[in-house]
Structure 1
Amino acid sequence: MAQAGGLHPIGVFFLLAGAFLPIMDFFITNVALPSIDASLHASASELELVIAGYGVAYAALLVLGGRLGDRFGRHRLFLGALVGFVAASAVCGFAPTIGVLIAARIVQGAAAALLVPQVLATFHHTLEHERKARALALYGATSGIAAVVGQLVGGLLVSADIAGATWRPIFLVNVPIGLVVLVVAARIVPATRSDHPVGIDLPGTVLFAATLTAVLVPLTEGHALGWPWWSWAMLAAAVVLGAVTVVVERRAEQQGRIPLLPPSLLRLPSMSRGLVMVFAFSIGFGAFMFVFALTVQDGLHRDALQGGLAILPMAVLFFLGSVFAPRVIGRFGRAALSVGAVVQVAGLASLVGVVVHGWPHVSLWDMALPLALAGAGQSMLFTGLFRSVLADVPIHLGGVGSGVLITLQQSGLALGVATLGSLYLVRAEHDTAHAFATVEAVQIAVIALLAIGVAALPRFTTTAADTPVIDA
């Protein structure tokens, strides 16, 4: 087992690359949906399942993925899950029917859930002080960049129509990249596992997965299917399942076991406050990426390439902002997160103004500056929130804490698409510009609340290396 500090900087890069692919794949399909529809003759509900199937499997199994890595070894699970992800991506790329594509996406999401928690847990176990803070900041940046790059790369690949394959390369591109990461990571990433591995909480895992599925499936499919009786029954069941999950997890911890979602871990200051903010942020972000792609392609009638390029200003400023975020946060602390939130609100509000007042003759250039502002602001907020959540987590629970964090992020992304995305689809039938404005008004309100709420996060202080760490 590798000792602290045993992870080479190149290993950090390839672990981040392994996390990049699953995160990117949640968003890369947004700009490809019209092409998938034309190729496989999918219904609206089936197209939503292409995204929701991946998101539900990913979110439902993330905590289990962290637990399995703690017990059986993060290096082994990272490599095995990466093989599964690459194989499922290949099946997605060659899928002959929409049913096969949806099934392969579910498998792909499950493999991603086993893969991603190993990245944060390995950082948590092998790195110390400023190196750990920097790696966590880079992970936060990678998560956000993967989202916007996903839509950009998706647009480029669909428009290139390589060998007449239209949308298929958005999945097949994972194969060569994943194989390179697999070969390099197998050689240079140290093998680690928890010194105090805990058992698999089978009841908690099943209950949590059932609760999440009962929430996300009807919210995703309800609108497209006209809200049938079973959608309301599932939502009612989700309330009951959630209550049972809480009772079972509390009882497990009282009996001396470590449940899937330890209540004591969730009560840590960094977790209890930071997770709520990450969840709220992710709901708005997931909804934005979904509705922006549809607004540009279906509303402004731009092709997939233009739909991908439209998000480029946000991607560039998010990347640049993430590079400087650790040093800025180190100097100004929580105030930097509040300023980032204010800048993001300004960018989103300006974007809404451009879309509403210029519709239907909105130029992509007109949206560039507002998108750049939004990207710069959210890079600061996103990086700070991610780094704050794991501050108080004990090293031996690194996999559990990482799984909880990413589960809340992924659940928020999926819930944003399911709720605000459905709201957009309902209103877009009558007025696309105002449908976009309605969704963004909700996101702006959430970000504005976060600008105030960051004061409740643990304080950021600065190490000798000028890299922020977090005090409880």
Structure 2
Amino acid sequence: VVVLVAELMDILDQSVVLTALPAIQASTGTGPAAVQWLTAGYSLTVAVGLITGGRLGDLHGRRKILLIGTALFTLASLLCGIATGPGVLIAARVIQGAGVAVMIPQVLATLHVTFDSENRSRAFGLYGAVLSLASVLGPVLGGVLTQLDLFGLSWRPIFLINVPVGLAVIILGRKFIPESTAQNANRLDLTGMLLSALAMALIIFPLTEGNTHHWPLWCFAMLAGGLLMLGVFLRHQQRQQGNTPLVALALFRGKQFSGGLSAQLMLGLLCGLFFTTWTQYLQRGLDMSPIMAAAAFVLLALGELAGATVAMKTAGRFGHRLPQAGALIALGSMAAYGLQVSSRQANLTLL
């Protein structure tokens, strides 16, 4: 239960910010590019550090690293809650992402080693339920806490609420989470870690800042450098396959793995772009309150939950045709939404 609460904190924090973005922008004077960095800075840090975080748990103990990540995340949440300007807030969000990057890999690993094969499926089923619950609760919690304006703090409680929860995870985790390490892990690939971090930064930074600066030459130069650095990283990982690489490149030889990962990558990119813009449009364009905007997110989450439920029961029967049908439905609904985007009734289409 304790490790699932840690996962819940991460998923909630990803989604709770969305409905609070307009309030954050208004109170801190944050520009459009800085608003992107409130989410992109967090996600970038998680993406860069996730593989390294998993290896740290293998080497130094999963409980130890999980509690360190939770402490870092909790401290960063406090900094977010007391931030007075966009610079401090973005920096605190980056620190939050670093905490999550070392915390979350330990959740799945701990569930895997703690439960036997008979109970493991139940544990992972509960893990999936927590993810679904958090995806619904996050936007609602963000909208409610922002609109209630508790103690005149406006959006700040969406971050401050993490502090007591994080402290509880640390205290209970020390008592109840068993310690474990990986038997075959012997060292951390520092070169690979630095190469991957540099490649991600060179790619993500110009994509976030390019539109604000009208896509100058340095943006394209950074993108080219990022792709080159990514190639260097992959070459380095190929040489490390006999030792302890950060990425097991052999996995990508499987068409199902590569295809599924590519689809997930595209989904993540498009969802990140859409939701950051959509939450601004609902509140600034349609003049919705934070709670009403949260209700629109709930409709979307309920649609996702219903689709996932049907998919789990019918995947064996329809195979790859099922996600293809889901993609076509999503494309059609998004096209219909775009055609009537100026109407309040458009949000029903999104369900």
| TM-score, reference length from structure 1 | 0.68
Counterparts of 2:180 and 2:192 in 1: how far apart (Å)? 25
User: How many aligned positions are there?
Assistant: 351
The one of 218, 221, 233 equivalent to 2:209 is: 221
Corresponding residue number in structure 2 for 1:468: none
1:311 aligns with 2:301: no
Question: What does 1:110-121 align with in structure 2 at a 5 Å threshold?
Answer: 110-121=98-109
Counterparts of 1:140 and 1:309 in 2: how far apart (Å)? 22
Q: 1:194 to 1:322 in 2, by over 3 A?
A: same
1:353 aligns with 2:327: no
Confirm or deny: 8 A CA contact 1:355 1:362 kept in the other structure.
no
| Superposition deviation, residue 81 in structure 1 | 0.8
SS in 1 for 2:213: coil
The one of 166, 172, 176 equivalent to 2:164 is: 176
The one of 266, 272, 288 equivalent to 1:302 is: 288
| Superposition deviation, residue 347 in structure 1 | 5.7
Corresponding residue number in structure 1 for 2:233: 245
The one of 91, 105, 115 equivalent to 1:127 is: 115
Confirm or deny: 8 A CA contact 2:73 2:96 kept in the other structure.
yes
Q: Deviations over 1:399-450 (max 9, x none)?
A: xxxxxxxxxxxxxxxxxxxxxxxxxxxxxxxxxxxxxxxxxxxxxxxxxxxx
Q: 1:275 to 1:354 in 2, by over 3 A?
A: closer
1:37 aligns with 2:25: yes
Amino acid at match of 1:312: V
Amino acid at match of 1:55: S
Confirm or deny: 8 A CA contact 1:20 1:146 kept in the other structure.
yes
**Could you tell me the percent identity over the aligned residues?**
33
SS in 1 for 2:301: helix
Corresponding residue number in structure 1 for 2:189: 201
Corresponding residue number in structure 2 for 1:367: 347
Structure 1 stretch displaced more, 265-274 or 237-246: 265-274
Q: Deviations over 1:284-304 (max 9, x none)?
A: 333332233123123212122
SS in 2 for 1:333: helix
Counterparts of 2:250 and 2:45 in 1: how far apart (Å)? 26
Q: Deviations over 1:180-229 (max 9, x none)?
A: 23333332222111122231000100000111111111101111222233
Confirm or deny: 8 A CA contact 2:81 2:156 kept in the other structure.
yes
1:160 aligns with 2:143: no
Q: 1:335 to 1:17 in 2, by over 3 A?
A: farther
Confirm or deny: 8 A CA contact 1:354 1:362 kept in the other structure.
no
| Superposition deviation, residue 355 in structure 1 | 5.5
Q: 1:84 to 1:275 in 2, by over 3 A?
A: same
1:186 aligns with 2:166: no
Counterparts of 1:290 and 1:315 in 2: how far apart (Å)? 16
| Superposition deviation, residue 112 in structure 1 | 0.5
Confirm or deny: 8 A CA contact 1:145 1:319 kept in the other structure.
no
Amino acid at match of 2:142: G
Corresponding residue number in structure 2 for 1:95: 83
The one of 311, 325, 332 equivalent to 1:342 is: 325
Counterparts of 2:205 and 2:262 in 1: how far apart (Å)? 22
| Superposition deviation, residue 269 in structure 1 | 6.2
The one of 94, 101, 105 equivalent to 1:106 is: 94
SS in 2 for 1:311: helix
The one of 51, 54, 57 equivalent to 2:45 is: 57
Counterparts of 1:320 and 1:17 in 2: how far apart (Å)? 24
Amino acid at match of 1:286: G
Amino acid at match of 1:203: T
Counterparts of 2:331 and 2:170 in 1: how far apart (Å)? 38
SS in 1 for 2:211: coil
Q: 1:243 to 1:348 in 2, by over 3 A?
A: closer
| TM-score, reference length from structure 2 | 0.90
Q: 1:74 to 1:29 in 2, by over 3 A?
A: same
Counterparts of 2:192 and 2:136 in 1: how far apart (Å)? 33
Counterparts of 2:266 and 2:126 in 1: how far apart (Å)? 21
Structure 1 stretch displaced more, 78-87 or 28-37: 28-37
Corresponding residue number in structure 2 for 1:454: none
Amino acid at match of 2:325: V
Amino acid at match of 1:293: T
Amino acid at match of 2:318: A
Confirm or deny: 8 A CA contact 2:22 2:280 kept in the other structure.
no
1:25 aligns with 2:8: no
RMSD, aligned α-carbons: 2.6
Counterparts of 1:213 and 1:135 in 2: how far apart (Å)? 35
Confirm or deny: 8 A CA contact 1:145 1:315 kept in the other structure.
no
Q: 1:211 to 1:88 in 2, by over 3 A?
A: same
Amino acid at match of 2:316: G
Q: 1:147 to 1:211 in 2, by over 3 A?
A: farther
Corresponding residue number in structure 1 for 2:266: 280
Confirm or deny: 8 A CA contact 1:141 1:319 kept in the other structure.
no
